[in-house]
Amino acid sequence: MSTLFCAAAMVGAVFGCEAVENVKSKDEYGILQVIEYEQRGSSVSVVEIVEKNGYWAAGFRAGSGDGNVWVLLNARYSPYYKQVPEGPFKVSQQSIDAVRRTLHVSKEVLAVLESRASSGGS
C-alpha cells in the first residue's frame, strides 16, 4: 500500500510541475502579446528589440509586408521558441547580429532565426 501511495505521490508531483510550467509558459505568451499590442502601430524595417518585465523580444517585418512578428528571445519555459503572430517574417543577417548583441537570446531562438535567414527569411 505504501509503494502505491509513493508512486501516486510521484506522479502527482510530476503533473504538478508540468502544470506550473504550462502556466508560466502562458505568462510568457501573454508578455509577448502585450509587446505586440503596444508596438502594433510601428513598422519594423530590420529589427526592433524591446524589454518588458525582464523578457526580451525582437520584432521583425511580417513576410507579407503587412504588420510585424514578435519573437521572445529569452523564454524560460518550454516551448523555448515563442512567436506572435504565427506566420513567416523577414530576417536578415544584420537583424540576427543585432539580436545576438543583446546577450539575451537563447541558443534555441538563435538557431531558429539563423535557419529562417538561410532559407530566405520566411
pLDDT, tens digit (0-9, with 9 covering 90-100), for 6-54: 555 555 544 554 666 676 789 999 999 999 999 999 999 999 999 999 9
Q: Terminus-to-terminus CA distance in the chain, angstroms?
A: 56
pTM: 0.80
Q: In a 3-state reduction of DSSP, which class is residue 120?
A: coil
Number of domains in the chain: 1
The domain in which residue 72 lies consists of: 2-118
d(CA 28, CA 72): 8
CB hemisphere CA count around 74 (13 angstroms): 14
Helix or strand run (H / E) with residue 51: strand 48-52
Output the average pLDDT for the chain.
86
Please give the average per-residue pLDDT across 74-78, as a whole number: 96
Residue 56's SS3 state is strand
User: What per-residue confidence (pLDDT) applies to 21?
Assistant: 62
